[in-house]
Structure 1
Amino acid sequence: MADAHVEVRDLCVTVRGPDGAPLRIVDDISFDVARGQMLALIGESGSGKTTIALSLMGHGRGGAAISGDIRVGDATLDGVGARSLAAQRGHRITYVAQSAAAAFNPSRRVIDQVIEPALIHRTASPATARQRAVELFRALALPNPETIGSRYPHELSGGQLQRLMAAMALITKPDLVIFDEPTTALDVTTQVEVLQAFRRVVREQGATGVYVSHDLAVVAQMADHILVLNRGRVREQNDVRTILEAPTDDYTKTLMAAAHPVVAVAAPAARAPEPLLAIHGIFAGYGPVDKAGRPANPVLSDVSLTIGRGAAVGVIGESGSGKSTVARVVAGLLAPTAGQVTLDGEALAQTVSGRTREQLRRVQIVFQNADVALNPAHNVGDILGRVLRFYHGVSGAEAGRRVAQLLDLIRLPAGVADRRCGELSGGQKQRVNLARALAAEPDVILCDEVTSALDTVVRGAILDLLADLRRELGLAYLFISHDIATVKALCDDIVVLYKGTRVESGRCESYSTAPFHPYTDLLISSVPEMRTDWLADESFRNSAPFAGMNEQPALCRFLPRCPVAISGRCDTIAPPLQSMAAGNIILCHRTEEELAR
């Protein structure tokens, strides 16, 4: 391509395989990206997306050998001095990683970290860099752009950190920006804001982009062209509209099909299973606690739900809604300030230290990030064997046999037992994360965003696995997610949380057609659709939020954002619980007829 800003020809990346022989994980990749265009690299975990993206910076993971021809502007893979790709990192070529929380130093203020690349590469003076950073904060739609930089990373939300990491990547006015799954772990409403900000700023700067993702709906909003990868090889590449509307490769069609999960894959016929686990009137938070057990800074406010034996209850909401806090309270990792958790009608101690080993065994938790949850120094057999020893007193050959059974249960080969987690794909690590919980032989598993960072095919496989285990073992799930489609694919009942308050609950089928609570409606309408003009279509967000008084916790917590709030009612009286015809219960002043209009 004559006007290509990025040219890649015959790219190969080789590592040492399990048997010590060379293993080619990226094989014969070629593509061009025109200046100012965005290329998306899509595929399952292990397809080579990130490996290819890092190669554009002249970087290979430990022990990897890169061969082929790569040119970004005037810089090449084998260039000398400033003309090498490695010399362009952090300056002309920048990178936005998936985990913003891991990218920031918790002990330093955000502004100092955002401007650091500009100071290191001497593209601006400290004063100019700070001014440039504030301009980027404003362009990225961050709140209080003049002062947000003075805060520490732990004081900011995931969506804010993701945009701040983009500001860090854009501060040097780079030619090429690599986005590596930058919205994967964000809730749907935050993702919309971040995608809009990314697209606007990249276009304003005229930068070239490479966007790594497994989400075709997200890619449809960001990319001009798509390159589909599978096991390190190109399966198809074309403009975004052609890929979405008329894919030719069977693997691409598989990805398209996986982007539309089947609803209720494993909902049992029983409508009212025997109660197993319940939480009653839970309050949790931090700060001083009043006589009623309500903290000064609440995270959960009077939350209740029940999980039947062998049932699955989904909890959805944005970041900060209190979803994970529910799981932590149930697991005994956080003591509630008021309320109670019961298992088979027996009250559980507030924290792990007060619970019996049998109670701990019966309630297991699977965390979102398997990389953090699994010890990288131990192999899979050791990780699973430790659980078997602790709960069942099993060791030696018997433990090895049980480990093999667990791996078979999660659809992994027995040889994985000898591998460390760093040698596994994201989907494989999440399966091991699940196997560790299964090793205890629990009655209920708390699944905290266990599929949010997985590609669509692997996510579907994990959901199928969870459904199969539920049928085979009679497991119950508390399934936490920000994605209502994922929850509907597994759960019987759904609870919607907003800022720690339950605003809607009901059977899964009651969420198929409106009316919903206005917040539930926002969550559903914020799920990207697989069409290229979806992000530009403001029709699903065209109502202005309530312009009256500021939020008061005693009233509706959604009031400041509600597009259908009633002045004189919603801002003066706490909302009532109402039952809709479909069976869902909402916390709202609006009647079913009013919400249906």
Structure 2
Amino acid sequence: MTALVHVEDLRVVARNAEGADVEIVKGVGFSIKKGEVLALIGESGSGKTTIALSLMGYARSGCRISGGTVRIGEQDVLGLDNAGLAALRGRTVAYIAQSAASAFNPSKTLMDQVIESALIHRTMTREAAEAKAVGLFRALALPDPERIGARYPHQVSGGQLQRVMAAMAFITDPALVILDEPTTALDVTTQIEVLNAFRNVVRQLGTTAVYVSHDLAVVAQMADRIVVLRGGEVRENSSTPRLLSAPTSPYTASLLAAAEPAPRQLDPLAHGSAPLLQVRGLVAGYGPPDSSGLPSKRILSDIDLTIERGATVGVIGESGSGKTTLARVIAGMVPAARGSILLDGEPLVGGAARTREQFRRVQFVFQNADTALNPAHTIERILARPLAFYHGMDRAAQAKRVRELLDLVKLPAAVAARRPGELSGGQKQRINLARALAAKPDLILCDEITSALDTVVAAAILDLMAELRRELKVSTLFISHDINTVRAICDDIVVLYAGAKVEARPRSALATPPFHPYSHLLISSVPELRQGWLEEVAERAPAGLPPIGPVASTPGLCTFLHRCSVRIDGVCTQTVPPRRQLPGGGQILCHHSGQALRTMQAPLQRFEELA
């Protein structure tokens, strides 16, 4: 079959801080057949997004395409003038970005934005474009396809917005669609829905596509062929089955090994001492108080949590489950409406009433290092501020401690003179962590700190967390939506759903059932590194899972009720579920007995093998 896309000797340069050009894409070449899905995979800085954007004749600020050939059909993309490129983009080549939230105009309806490129390129009338958009909404499994276009971006979920952006790309029947990390920020359950919708539409339309990702397990479900990149060079170009079963490059083998984080060796905890942190009966939310005096919008309901000294407790759940709110209440950023938080047995108050010493002892590491670090300040200044604030260090002492902190997080001393924009994503997250460590805390709250990182960098951060635990004996609350990640470094795992703690168990008991039905859904939704997995899970998963939301009828009913495939009508729909103790340790909030759940839930072989 004749190639639709042909790339030969592509080269891209970037201007460095000294004003010199540095080559970041180095003679890359590949072809894509019509109807084929090609994946570009590699760690951050490998050049995958830069190469994908080159297919549109585009280079990001500070970069330029310095050589090579890019042909799509009969068009020489790199030879086009500005008018030619404007005619190409959105018509011949369409782009689906990683962050749907930042790709939409909040002041326009979804329909107006989806059909915009069809109107600009004059491929059809407005009436025809709107009818086609509704058809795409339906094909992409969006709810209420006839009316969802009248909504605004903030009125739909992240997974739905990602699919609306796909409709925007497909509206002009482009010859090539570029999908740039379109599911990286999504929960595992939402990711399944979005991947399944993308794959079905690509197959139905016979679309040629480039899928950019750092996740080999996701790529295995989407791609016919995979190009592995490192340092702007091609390390391997192979069919998906061959690459997964017999990689020829050692680097590809390392990516395969990093795809499923192995549990880190954890030091045994010292028993006999009182817990570092205890959370009891915690209720939190926002909005005016209801008749009971509690917030009308509850985010957390009756949460109990214990963190031992030197322990790492993982908190897992989808977006909207209350994970970040829990961490923010513990950190004093959000007030508790009811319940208590004890640090070393003493009440840990919230807001302005918390002392400087209490703030020092509990530090927060934010999910997005890009927004957490001031881009105008040097790394030395960023790390020096908590040293002066909490410890009163003078400049000489600050400079010495900054070097020690950089060494602690495995960064060279020269990084101190740089600004955040000059660092990679993994380096910025290490600085984020070093800033928290500068206070010498007893407890660190880590909020999704590896979710935006590629597998290799994320694995390095997990190794660093395990090493810091051994060296500093600091306790950690580790928040994630990836059960593999929390299982890699946590002693105990807590599962939240719609603000309720539905399960808690030690890591040693995570390998086999019984699981709460929601935990079982999360575990079975983690992509496996083999082709065909998506088809299998899509067949057994409930079609179109409803969004997270509490049941409205009787207070205290199971929050997972409307999504549960094993609910008992007449019991689950009327009675508050009991909290059942598990034989292997831990507890679940469910009407089913442990034995009944164990019978319903076949052992998950991959988790047993990792145990």
User: TM-score band (shorter)?
Assistant: over 0.9
One-letter amino acid matched to 2:572: C
The residue that corresponds to 1:223 in the other structure is 223
Q: Figure out how many residues of one structure are paired with residues of the other and give that number.
A: 594
- Are the counterparts in 1 of residues 286 and 298 from structure 2 also a CA contact under 8 Å? yes
Q: Which residue of 1 aligns with 2:12?
A: 13
The residue correspondences of 1:266-285 to structure 2 (distance < 5 A) are 266-270=266-270, 274-285=274-285
Cα deviation code 1:381-415 (max 9, x no counterpart): 22222232322233533322222221111111111
In structure 2, relative to structure 1, the CA distance for the partners of 1:98 and 1:568 (3 Å cut) is same
* Alignment-derived partner of residue 444 in structure 1: 443
Mean alpha-carbon deviation: is it higher for 194-203 or for 18-27?
Answer: 18-27
Q: 1:385 to 1:126 in 2, by over 3 A?
A: farther
Structure 1 pair 530–83 and aligned structure 2 pair: CA distance change class (3 A): farther
Displacement of 1:143 after TM fit? 1.9
In the alignment, which residue of structure 1 is the partner of 2:403? 404
Distance 1:152-1:437 versus aligned 2 partners, 3 A rule: farther
Q: Measure, in 1, the Cα distance between the counterparts of 2:538 and 2:514.
A: 17
Rounded Cα–Cα distance in structure 2 between residues aligned with 1:383 and 1:350:
25
- Are 2:426 and 1:388 aligned? no
Matches within 5 A, 1:139-178: 139-178=139-178
2:79 match: secondary structure: coil
Sort the Cα spacing of 1:121 and 1:396 in 2 relative to 1 into closer, same or farther, 3 A: farther
Q: Of 593, 596, 599, which residue of structure 2 is paired with 1:594? A: 596
Asked whether the equivalents of residues 71 and 77 of structure 2 are also in contact (C-alpha less than 8 Å), the reply is yes
The residue type paired with residue 494 of structure 1 is I
Aligned pairs for 1:206-355 within 5 A: 206-270=206-270, 274-351=274-351, 353-355=352-354
Structure 2 equivalent of residue 368 of structure 1: 367
Q: Which amino acid aligns with 1:502?
A: K
- Checking the alignment, whether the CA contact within 8 Å between 2:551 and 2:559 is kept in structure 1 is no
Give the direction of change, closer, same or farther, for the CA distance of 1:201–1:551 in structure 2 (3 Å limit): farther
Cα distance, 1:255 vs structure 2: 0.7
* Letter aligned with residue 558 of structure 2: C
Cα distance 1:215–1:545, how it changes in 2: closer, same or farther (>3 A)?
closer
- CA distance in structure 1 between the aligned counterparts of 2:577 and 2:556, rounded to whole angstroms: 9
> Distance between the aligned counterparts of 1:16 and 1:331, measured in 2?
41
Write the distance in 1 (CA, Å) between the matches of 2:543 and 2:230.
Answer: 44
Amino acid aligned to 2:14: V
Q: Conserved in 1, the CA contact under 8 Å of 2:264 and 2:463?
A: no
2:186 counterpart of 1:180: no
Which residue does the alignment assign to 1:576?
A: 578
Partner secondary structure for residue 78 of structure 1: helix
Does residue 138 (structure 1) correspond to residue 126 (structure 2)? The answer is no
Q: Distance in 2 between matches of 1:44 and 1:82?
A: 32
Q: TM-score, normalised by structure 2?
A: 0.92
CA contact (8 A) 2:506 2:586 kept: yes
1:50 equivalent in structure 2: 49
Shift of 1:101: 1.9
Q: Distance in 2 between matches of 1:40 and 1:68?
A: 20
What one-letter code is carried by the residue in structure 2 that aligns with 1:594? A
> Which position in structure 1 is the counterpart of 2:481?
482
Aligned to 1:209, the other structure's residue is in SS state: strand
Q: 2:561 touches 2:567 (CA, 8 Å); kept in 1?
A: yes
DSSP-derived class of the 1:8 partner: strand
Distance 1:363 1:495 in 2: 19
Kindly provide the CA deviation profile for residues 527-574 of structure 1, in whole angstroms up to 9, marking residues without a partner as x. 011111101114872578999x97645311111111111122111111
Q: Per the alignment, do residues 78 and 333 of structure 1 end up closer, same or farther by CA in structure 2, a change over 3 Å counting?
A: same
Provide the C-alpha distance between the structure 2 equivalents of 1:546 and 1:14, rounded to a whole number of angstroms: 45
User: Which residue type is aligned with residue 281 of structure 1?
Assistant: G
Matched, 1:22 2:21: yes
- Corresponding residue for 2:429? 430
Q: Secondary structure at the match of 1:190?
A: helix
Q: Which sits farther off after the overlay, 554-563 or 97-106?
A: 97-106
Q: Which residue of 2 aligns with 1:461?
A: 460
Matched-pair contact (CA < 8 Å) for 1:444–1:478 = yes
Change (3 A) 1:441 1:120: farther
CA distance in 2, matches of 1:317, 1:273: 30
Q: Distance in 1 between matches of 2:511 and 2:591?
A: 22
**Aligned residue number for residue 73 of structure 2:** 73
Structure 1, 381-390 or 199-208: larger mean CA deviation:
381-390
Moved more, 141-150 or 295-304: 141-150
C-alpha distance in 1 between matches for 2:298 and 2:568: 25
After superposition, the CA RMSD in angstroms is: 2.2
Per the TM alignment, residue 74 of structure 1 is displaced from its structure 2 partner at its CA by 3.1
Q: Once the two structures are superposed, what CA deviation does each residue of 1:261-282 show, in whole Å capped at 9, x if it has no partner?
A: 1114335344676311222212
SS at structure 1 position matched to 2:490: coil
Please tell me the residue identity of whatever aligns with 2:484.
A
Extract unaligned runs of 5+ from structure 1: none
Deviation at 1:420, TM superposition (A): 2.0
Paired with 1:272 and 1:511, the residues of 2 have a C-alpha distance of: 25
SS of 1:489 mapped into structure 2: helix
Q: Quick one: which amino acid aligns to residue 572 of structure 1? A: Q
Pair 53,463 (structure 1): closer, same or farther in 2 beyond 3 Å: same
Cα offset, 1:259, TM superposition: 1.1
**Native 8 Å contact 1:525 1:540 kept in 2:** no
Q: Is the 8 A contact 2:503 2:587 kept in 1?
A: yes
3-state SS, counterpart of residue 142 of structure 1: coil
Q: Structure 1: how far apart are the matches of 2:483 and 2:243? A: 26
Distance 1:339 1:122, change over 3 A: farther
Q: In structure 2, the residue corresponding to 1:399 is in which secondary structure?
A: helix
CA contact (8 A) 1:79 1:85 kept: no
CA contact (8 A) 2:315 2:323 kept: yes
Measured after TM superposition, the shift of residue 84 of structure 1 is 4.4
Residue 258 of structure 1, CA deviation: 0.8
Return the letter of the residue paired with 1:286.
Y
Q: Find the counterpart in structure 2 of residue 41 from structure 1.
A: 40
Q: Is residue 76–residue 85 contact of structure 1 (8 Å, CA) maintained in 2?
A: no
Cα deviation for residue 220 of structure 1 reads: 0.2
Which amino acid in structure 2 is aligned with residue 233 of structure 1? E
SS for the counterpart of 1:235 is strand
Give 2:106's aligned amino acid.
P
**Residue 567 of structure 2 aligns to which amino acid in structure 1?**
A
**Whole-angstrom distance in 2 between the partners of 1:494 and 1:527:** 16
> How far 1:140 sits from its partner (Å)?
1.5
Structure 1 contact 75–83 (Cα < 8 Å) conserved:
no
Equivalent pair of 1:13/1:64 in contact (CA under 8 Å): yes
2-structure distance, mates of 1:594, 1:539: 24
C-alpha spacing 1:333/1:116, structure 2 compared with 1 (3 Å)? farther
CA contact (8 A) 2:551 2:558 kept: no
Which deviates the most, 283-292 or 355-364?
A: 283-292
User: Given that residues 10 and 27 in structure 1 are in contact (C-alpha distance below 8 angstroms), is that contact kept between their aligned partners in structure 2?
Assistant: yes
The residue identity in structure 2 corresponding to 1:571 is: T
Q: Which amino acid aligns with 1:342?
A: L
Counterpart Cα distance in 2 of 1:272 and 1:85:
69
2:565 aligned residue (563, 582, 585) = 563
Alpha-carbon distance between aligned partners in 1 of 2:279 and 2:269, rounded to the nearest angstrom: 24
